[in-house]
Amino acid sequence: MSELLVRLEWFKAVVLPHEAAVRGRLRRICPPGFDVDNLVAESLARAYQVQEFSRITAGRSYLLAIARNLLIDALRRERIVSLDFVADLDVLRSDEAAVERQIQARDELRWLQGLVERLPPQARKVFLLRRVHDLSLATIAAQMGLSVSTVEKHLVKALKLVAQARAEREDDEFGRAAPQDVRLAGDRRSGGRLRR
Amino acid sequence: MACGVSPAERQEIYAWVGADPRHAVAFARMEAAWESAERLRAAPPPLEPDAKADLGAPPAGASRRRLMFGALAAASTAVAATVGWRLLDNVELHRTGVGERRVVALADGSRVTLNTASTVELAFSANERRVRLVRGEALFEVAHDASRPFLVDAGSARFRALGTAFNVRLRPDVVELTVTQGVVGVVAEDGGAATTVSAKIAAGGGAVVRSGAVAPTALDGQHLRQRTAWQEGVLEFDGESLAQVVGEFNRYRQQPIVIGDARLEALRIGGRFEVDEADKFLAALTSSFPIEAIATDDGGVLLVERP
């Protein structure tokens, strides 16, 4: 069981922070109608399963490599691969050093604040009281005149929304897209590079 | 909300997480979200919103994201129950990165000192203080409370204390216990087998535990000091092999020191170093032995016999 917890810690620290960026890149190069979210989910699941996870420290390259291989397989199955597209796949080759832009704590805080602002009012209040003000669920329930189970539901809802937003967050929300990303930001979806 | 989560329930939750990598991903996502919100403490947002758009509905034009929302929603029904005990049941996670060391003061007056690359999980309730050493090494200084035993789970070992001080280290193959104060009860759990082995270890003693076996170890003052020197950020050696010494330094380093020549591994080393002073150690090593330390491109160090 300890192995499970260590693996979870590794996954949260090394792989998961790159989910949003990998999803963003895939969206830029995948043909319209392609199920990017499913590809990302599958990539994450495979990344999680790796045998000797402790050796993997460069999460972004690792996740990109998995996504790239899955994508190639998928496209091969559909027999829709053009050479141009294979060239595009290079977007999925990561040089960790260049793309590993550390999101600054200040930006992260600002982003979180914006996110919390947009949570449904009840969920937001419960979330803040529990997470930031450390009140117990019972105290929150009494204070808001709700049942404990309702408070729980609000909390889980808030957490789900925060988790979703994190998974969807694109790098450029921080206004610091790398030059290569800017170049690739052109719309590949209508580019006619892929024959369907 | 005083409903504690029993060990059996926890077991069930972990079983669910372990059953499918997708469960694990969903679980990790929820936890990461919870942990990330820690930052909000620095600048708590107002409790009441400014009447703006709410996040409950996906933003316009995000139809391709529906799938993702759907998938997460399905997973999170199960996750909600799962995550519940961590968030709702006052379970706290504390961790250190490589090279870090941290003291965590607990509400009951106990203290946990985490060594490098370590994680503990705390779940206190009215009748017990439950801690899990997930990885690494920790020193527990337990405030006396006869009505609430302090229970530490570490790998296949379980420790029980009332008011003591002891160090637990998860080594690759064994769990290592060192008691510096009071008495600690040890139980070795074999995966599923009905037999459990137990022992009581008093201050000045130690034990190693490995699935189903507890072996008490006699320690002298020197050993005791060695095993707890990390609290001061110090590594002490007294005749350990070079392989062991390098292993100890590497716990605190992102990029390892690597012995490139197996003949060097058995060299005996003595001395006292700060954990982050590998450079001094290497300088001492290369000046006292015919050893060369070569810096590698990835920031590591390769040790070879000087030609």
CA gap B180, B175 in Å, rounded: 16
**What are the domain boundaries of chain A?**
2-101+179-183, 105-168
Residue B240 has pLDDT above 80, yes or no: yes
When divided into structural domains, chain B yields a total of 3
Backbone dihedral region of B219: left (phi > 0), alpha (psi from -120 to 50 degrees) or beta?
beta
Residue A135, classified by CB atoms within 10 Å of its CB into exposed (0-12), middle (13-18) or buried (19+), is: middle
CA-CA-CA-CA torsion sign (A119, A125, A130, A133): positive
Q: What percent of chain B has pLDDT over 90?
A: 44
**Angstrom distances, CA of residue B262 to CA of B266, B267, B304:** 8, 10, 9
Task: Report d(CA B300, CA B149) in Å as an integer.
Answer: 44
| Same-domain status, B107 and B156 | yes
Q: Which chain A residue's Cα is nearest to B73?
A: A160
Q: Assign residue B174 the CATH number of its domain.
A: 2.60.120.1440
Report the gap between the CA of B17 and the closest CA in chain A (Å): 8
Question: What is the ipTM metric for this complex?
Answer: 0.74
Look up the CATH architecture of domain A105-168.
Orthogonal Bundle (1.10)
A 30-49 near B (Cβ less than 8 A): 35-38, 41, 44-46, 48-49
Mean pLDDT value of segment B235-264: 93
Whether residues B83 and B175 share a domain: the answer is: no
Contact B40 A112 (CB under 8 A): yes
Residue B182 has pLDDT above 90, yes or no: yes
What sign for the dihedral angle of Cα A80, A85, A91, A93?
positive
**Ordered per-residue pLDDT tens for chain A, 196 residues:** 578 888 988 999 899 989 988 888 888 887 777 788 889 999 999 999 998 888 888 888 899 999 988 888 877 776 555 545 555 666 666 554 444 445 566 777 888 888 999 999 999 999 999 888 878 778 888 999 998 878 888 888 888 888 888 888 765 444 343 333 333 333 333 333 333 3
Q: What is the pLDDT of residues B247-261, one digit of tens each?
A: 999 999 988 999 999
Q: How far is CA B132 from CA A33, A49, A122, B10, B117, in A?
A: 46, 23, 33, 12, 15
Taking the CA of residue A95 as centre, how many other CA atoms within 13 Å lie in the half-sphere pointing to its CB? 5
Q: Which of A41, A105, A113 sits opposite B71 (nearest CB)?
A: A41
Q: Which residues in chain A (46-75) have CB-CB distances under 8 A to chain B?
A: 46, 48-49
Range of the domain at B115: 91-223
| Main-chain phi, psi angles of B99, to 5 degrees | 85, -5
Sign of CA dihedral A33, A34, A36, A38: positive
Contacts of A106 in chain B (CB under 8 A): none
Both B263 and B215 in a single domain? no
> What pLDDT, in 10s, does the model give residues B11-65?
666 777 787 888 788 888 888 888 888 888 888 888 886 655 455 544 444 433 3
Residue B11 has phi, psi (to 5 degrees) of -55, -40
User: How many Cα atoms within 13 Å fall on the side-chain side of residue B33?
Assistant: 30
